[in-house]
Amino acid sequence: MKAVAYFTVTTNVHICEGTVILPAAIVKDSCSNYIQVDVAYPNGFIDDFKNNSTITLPSGEHTITYTA
């Protein structure tokens, strides 16, 4: 899996949270045609992540973890 660099998202007007379009997961496996990617983020989890999913996060610095 290729790591995604840091990125910045601005918050919505008058609301201290922002909508984040998660970067695509870049995953390769020579032994399988199907690879499940899960995403963990503060107060949430996406089981079997599909590219271009969105999440909402409060203002601040957060770690988003992709697992294949």
Q: State pLDDT tens for residues 40-65.
A: 999 899 999 988 899 999 999 999 99
Output the six-digit token pair for 8.
Answer: 């910045």
Residue 43 sits at the vertex; the CA angle it makes with 38 and 45, to the nearest 5 degrees, is 15
Q: Strands of 11-52 (E only): list them.
A: 17-21, 38-41, 44-46
The pLDDT mean for the chain works out to 87
Phi, then psi, of 26 in degrees rounded to 5 = -105, 100
Contact 42, 17 (CB under 8 A): no
Separation of alpha carbons 38 and 32, rounded Å = 17
Residue 8 — pLDDT band, cuts 50, 70, 90?
Answer: confident
pTM: 0.81
